[in-house]
Amino acid sequence: MQRSYYLGLAEVGLRMPIGTHLILHEAADPAAIELDGQRLGDVIVRTAGRFNTPLAVPLMDLKLEKEAMLAARGIAGGQIDSYHFDELPAEAPAFRLTPRMLATCEAIRHVAKHPDLVPMGMGIGPFSLMTKLISDPITPVFLAGTGLTADEEPEVALIERVMELGTELLLEYFSAQIDAGAKAMIICEPAANLVYFSPNQLANGYDIFDRYVTAPMRRIKALFDARGVDLVFHDCGELTTGMVERFATLDAAMLSFGCSRQLWEDAALIPKSTVLYGNLPTKRFPASQLSVADVELLAREMLDKMRATGHPFILGSECDVLSVPGSEGEIMAKVEAFMKC
Amino acid sequence: MSTLSELAIAVEGGKRNDAKLFTQALLDQGLKPLAIVEQGLVPGMASIGEKFKNNEVFVPEMLIAARAMKECMLILEPLLAAAGIKPKYTAVIGTVQGDLHDIGKNLVAMMLKGANFGIVDLGTNVAPEKFVAAAQEHSAQLICLSALLTTTMPAMKLTVRAVRAAGLTSAKIMVGGAPVTQEYCDEIGADGYSQDAASAVDLALELAATC
Ligand code: B12
């Protein structure tokens, strides 16, 4: 897509949640739909229609890539959540798209038949994927930040190897989504945050963050550039300003940050060619303590403050808005409130 | 001569090799293992917990400190067990069903361990009946539930209900996690809520004392 396309959407005041989970869970059999590309594609199309946006956002499910990585090694079912690599994995066996991944690609293919929609792809970022594959990823990241290398510290070697294998897998999965017709890819890196990278350590330099987050993201961006696909980068973790500055260099079409950031303050750090997206506190939407009127107020405040910065902006959610059983009405009322206030 | 305060400082700074050396040296000087835990390791962890609460240090520093403590405990635990010394209180902890977030839960577990609680960590995605069974098996004074997703908060409620239904009257339930609030804790009938891992220790000590 031309970058002016996203800037144009911001210009006309587009608002939208990351709302596919909400619409999926209106169906009686969401788990079956997740495996059925055609029906999943319909859900994505319906979501775009419901929220009046041309951006067709797939379901955000950051479990898929770990599942695929383990399936290639014969680990499946109930073992997946708790499985972690505790020694250097041998050469990667050939990786195959799992049924959920195939359904995601099929759904994108289905969306691509709608000329009024921008088919988008979705996936986890390399660093966040690594954190899911290691039982304690934080300590080795910290040790690497003190200067210990893979040769000196086996745990550093482990995270670096797992990250390398994970990145290879992501490049294949993202290529498959692009082959299916994705014109933009939403990459979620929620673990690239100050829980995993100590601000005290970063105060002495961002080398470790650049090596473990920015550099692998650049590899992914290079694929997107080669295929003419736009990057939408999402990170709802708690971020330092230095992290935001680094994400600003990714040349993303859109950047989406969680509630730890005041987007109107971050606007000055982001190039004008990148649309800022977000970041109403949607995880609080199920709670009655946050009323519809509160949401309207927050939305109006955010719009005013962003308008004052002059930065291209799309009002939306801090992450994907989850459907909570029993609170569906409450959540949807608040989403609708910010869509039209 | 090594001192208990040197040990506490080494633990707080995550200097695991130093901490191990100090622990061994203190044992060689004739100090009792329990004294080393209570006057060396526990103050070290309490001090880093306080700094975490005040945003002076962050999760990685906490984990490095906990790792240093853990290595010292590898030396001390066999000696404590041989002397028949067990932690005064036991806490069962886990992230509730459907939820895979574990960093906050791990920090709470670490801090409780640092305050010399016996910890039974059930991991993530833990079903209500598993909490109940573990609390019964280990005669736990505390059951600690973590939830990070609005979609899994109802599982917290179900777990509280299951614990009450099982008649575990001597165990107190503590809840926490980013979307959890004191109001929610009251609403689901849990016994206590705390916002971070360091305050969780104070609350745990308070609740366990009433068991
Ligand atoms: C890192 C992260 C992940 C990692 C988790 C890695 C891991 N090993 O835990 C990964 C990438 C795997 C992940 C996955 C998902 N995540 Co997530 N994640 C986060 C993130 C960025 C940080 C969470 C964290 O670790 N915080 C740091 C710790 C230290 O804080 P804490 O857990 O709150 O714990 C402290 C206190 O709460 C307290 N505490 C915690 N537990 C307990 C227990 C007791 C008893 C007590 C007393 C105290 C206590 O003490 C702790 C220390 O001080 C948050 C955003 C955020 N800023 O919170 C989103 C967030 C929680 N995730 C979110 C979502 C949506 C998801 C996914 C559903 C995404 C998807 N669509 O796939 C999946 C869920 C998978 C699942 N079924 O669980 C949303 C939840 C929104 C909602 N409506 O609830 C959040 C809030 C992001 C957002 N801004 O919207 N996530």
Q: Which of these, B84, B45, B86, lies nearest to B66 by C-alpha position?
A: B45
- Show me where the domains of chain A are located: 3-340
Contacts of A283 in chain B (CB under 8 A): 150, 178-179
Tell whether B98 and B192 lie within a shared domain.
yes
Q: Do B60 and A136 touch (CB under 8 A)?
A: no
**Please, which residues have CB within 8 angstroms of residue A124's CB and are 6 or more apart in sequence?**
A62, A64, A65, A132, A170, A187, A188, A189
Tokens of A96: 């195959």
What's the CATH architecture for A3-340?
Answer: Alpha-Beta Barrel (3.20)
Closest CA to B36 of B79, B88, B66, B100: B79
Closest CA to ligand 1's atom 70: A61
- pLDDT average, residue stretch B99-120: 90
Q: Does the pLDDT at position B2 exceed 80? A: no
A66 pLDDT higher than 70: yes
* B138 and B69 together in one domain: no
Supply the pLDDT for residue B28: 96
- As beta bridge partners, residue B144 has B93, B174
B186 and B105 assigned to the same domain: yes
Question: What is the domain count for chain B?
Answer: 2
**pLDDT band at residue A93 under the 50/70/90 scheme:** confident
B104 and B198 belong to one structural domain = yes
Kindly give the distance from the C-alpha atom of residue A213 to the centroid of ligand 1, in angstroms, as a whole number.
Answer: 19
Same domain assignment for residues B69 and B101? no
Chain B: give the shortest CA distance to residue A64, in Å.
Answer: 14
Question: Which atom of ligand 1 lies at the shortest distance from residue A321's CA?
Answer: 83
Burial pattern A34-59, b for ≥16 Cβ within 10 A else e, equals: bebbebbbbbbbbbbebbebebbbbb
Does A51 have pLDDT greater than 80?
yes
- pLDDT mean over B189-197: 94
Q: Are residues B101 and B195 in the same domain?
A: yes
**What is the DSSP code string of B63-97?**
HHHHHHHHHHHHHHHHHHHHTT---S-EEEEEEBT
Among B35, B54, B82, where does a domain finish?
Answer: B82
Among the listed residues A121, A257, A247, the one whose alpha carbon sits nearest the alpha carbon of residue A186: A121
Q: What is the pLDDT of residue A80?
A: 87
Using a 10 angstrom Cβ sphere, with 0-12 exposed, 13-18 middle and 19 or more buried, the burial of residue A190 is buried
**Can you tell me the mean pLDDT for A234-250?**
97
Q: Residue A131: pLDDT above 90?
A: yes
- Among candidates B58, B63, B100 on the partner chain, residue whose Cβ is nearest the Cβ of A199: B58
Which band of pLDDT confidence, cut at 50, 70 and 90, is reported for residue A73?
Answer: confident
The tokens of B26 are what?
A: 């203190």
- pLDDT above 70: residue B84: yes
Q: How far apart are CA B126 and CA B122, in angstroms?
A: 7
| Chain B environment of A324 (Cβ under 8 Å) | 150-151, 153-154
Q: Give the 3-state secondary structure of residue A314.
A: strand
As a whole-number percent, the residues of chain B with pLDDT over 90 amount to 81
| Mean pLDDT of the A83-94 span | 81
At A294, the pLDDT band (50, 70, 90 cuts) reads very high
**Chain B residues in contact with chain A using a Cβ-Cβ cutoff of 8 Å:** 57-61, 63-64, 67, 100, 103, 106, 123-125, 149-151, 153-154, 178-179, 181, 183-184
Percent of chain A having pLDDT more than 90?
Answer: 88
CA distances A109 to A101, A147, A184, A314, B151, Å, are 12, 45, 13, 26, 30
Is it the case that residue A92 has pLDDT exceeding 80? Answer: no
Residue B128: which domain range? 90-209
Q: What's the ipTM?
A: 0.81
Residue-averaged pLDDT of chain A: 95
Among residues B35, B61, B82, the one where a domain terminates is B82
Q: Which residue has the tokens 């970022």?
A: A125
Q: B102 and B58: one domain? A: no
What CATH number has the domain bearing residue B160? Answer: 3.40.50.280
Helix (H) or strand (E) run with residue A68 in it? helix A64-71
Which of B61, B82, B103 is the C-terminal boundary of a domain?
B82
User: Could you tell me which residues are beta bridge partners of residue A15?
Assistant: A315
Nearest to A183 by CA among A320, A24, A58: A58
Q: Is the pLDDT of residue A82 over 90?
A: no
| B116 in the same domain as B78 | no
In contact, A318 and A258? CB cutoff 8 Å:
yes
Q: What is the mean pLDDT of residues A111-139?
A: 96
Is residue A41 within 8 A of residue A180, CB to CB? The reply is: no
Are B16 and B49 within one domain?
Answer: yes
pLDDT at A87: 84
Residue A19 and residue A46 in contact, taking contact as beta carbons nearer than 8 Å: no
Which tokens in the block code for residue A73? 């090694």
pLDDT confidence tier of residue A58, bands split at 50, 70 and 90:
very high
pLDDT bucket at A315, cuts 50 / 70 / 90: very high
Nearest C-alpha in A relative to B103: A195
Percent of chain A having pLDDT more than 70?
100
Q: What is the pLDDT of residue B1?
A: 67
User: What integer is the mean pLDDT of A210-214?
Assistant: 98
Over residues B21-41, the mean pLDDT reads 94
